[in-house]
């Protein structure tokens, strides 16, 4: 870890961190966060390269290495594609990101690096492939990837959706991408208008309804947002995204009692069996983790024992690794 801790809020702070001989991974993440809206692309590139160098040279247990490697891949991809001026510029920026990830894999002393970085490279390669095809279907797929947390370019996702809509004005998937991207940009009123038009064409679209719920939440219509998600769950009681969206709505609006009630009632939407009950509880823990409520997540996990079924075991292990990584980070944040 670094010998000193520096608060990172400005470009000058980032330069101060980069001037240090030793830095922590947490500091590099803070540098990336401080530069998210910056147009100083060269500085963002330096942060990405230093992050890859740092994360691929440290020997750590797998449960700590994986989340750091995944975060490093996101920093590389978002930093590179942030330079893209338009859709036509994206493939060149994807190439830059893939080169850095490939270089990191080759130079790494950690076996896990290749697995994690290759997964990111595959997603970036898919984006290039979709953009090479001008069909509405491919543009919609490209738009979905551009919204992905690995890339975070909702503005370009809107551009892709708009091009698709020029050819097919009533393409519900394109309208959904556009409306969702507008929500990503916190233009919730515009998102509601676009998603309203999508629902006018397909009132019970399984993918548009959750996006519509999110947009409604954004303009303060939380009760309406909850009703929309409940409609989805009436039709598809095992819809993972809808279950998490409902719990997130209660969590975000600080309706903690309703969160607990919903957690229990969700178990009754499908056939009552221990395996499904565990699955719903594990999804609730994921919602708490996404909200950075690590104490709440750890408390809920204490009530989950011996996960049943391969999917539950994978989710259980994933959550345990995230909690371990968080505890390790807390213990070492200020240590040398």
The pLDDT confidence band at residue 335, using thresholds 50, 70 and 90, is very low
Residue 63 has pLDDT above 90, yes or no: no
Residue 331 has pLDDT above 80, yes or no: no
| pLDDT level of residue 270 (50, 70, 90 thresholds) | low
The pTM score is 0.78
**pLDDT on residue 269:** 65
The residue to which tokens 């259980």 are assigned: 316
CB 29 within 8 A of CB 71: yes
- The single residue listed with the structure tokens 């919730």 is 188
Return d(Cα 172, Cα 106) in angstroms, integer. 42
pLDDT of residue 214: 94
Question: Could you give the CA distance from residue 319 to residue 317 in angstroms, rounded to a whole number?
Answer: 5
Task: Choose between 147 and 241: higher pLDDT.
Answer: 147
Q: What is the dihedral of CA 244, 246, 247, 250, to 10 degrees?
A: 150
């Amino acid at each position: 870890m670094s010998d000193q801790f520096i608060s990172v809020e400005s470009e000058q702070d980032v330069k101060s961190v980069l001037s240090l001989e030793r830095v922590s991974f947490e500091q590099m993440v803070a540098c990336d966060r401080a530069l998210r809206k910056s147009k100083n692309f060269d500085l963002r590139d330096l942060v990405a390269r230093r992050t890859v160098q740092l994360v691929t040279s440290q020997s750590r247990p797998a449960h700590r290495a994986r989340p750091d490697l995944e975060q490093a891949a996101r920093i590389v991809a978002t930093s590179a594609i942030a330079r893209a001026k338009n859709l036509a510029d994206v493939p060149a920026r994807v190439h830059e990101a893939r080169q850095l990830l490939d270089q990191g894999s080759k130079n790494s002393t950690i076996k896990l690096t290749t697995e994690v970085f290759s997964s990111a490279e595959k997603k970036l390669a898919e984006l290039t492939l979709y953009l090479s095809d001008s069909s509405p279907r491919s543009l919609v797929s490209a738009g979905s990837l551009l919204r992905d947390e690995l890339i975070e370019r909702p503005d370009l996702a809107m551009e892709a959706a708009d091009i698709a809509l020029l050819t097919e004005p009533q393409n519900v998937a394109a309208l959904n991408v556009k409306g969702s991207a507008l929500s990503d940009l916190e233009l919730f009123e515009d998102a509601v208008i676009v998603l309203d038009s999508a629902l006018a064409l397909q009132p019970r679209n399984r993918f548009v309804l959750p996006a519509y719920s999110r947009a409604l939440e954004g303009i303060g219509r939380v009760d309406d947002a909850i009703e929309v998600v409940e409609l989805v769950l009436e039709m598809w009681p095992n819809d993972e995204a809808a279950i998490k969206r409902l719990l997130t709505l209660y969590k975000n609006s600080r309706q903690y009692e309703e969160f607990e009630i919903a957690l229990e009632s969700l178990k009754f939407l499908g056939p009552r069996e221990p395996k499904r009950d565990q699955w719903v509880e594990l999804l609730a823990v994921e919602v708490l983790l996404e909200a950075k409520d690590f104490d709440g997540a750890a408390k809920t996990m204490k009530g989950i024992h011996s996960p049943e079924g391969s999917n539950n075991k994978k989710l259980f292990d994933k959550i345990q690794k995230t909690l371990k990584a968080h505890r390790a980070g807390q213990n070492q944040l200020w240590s040398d």
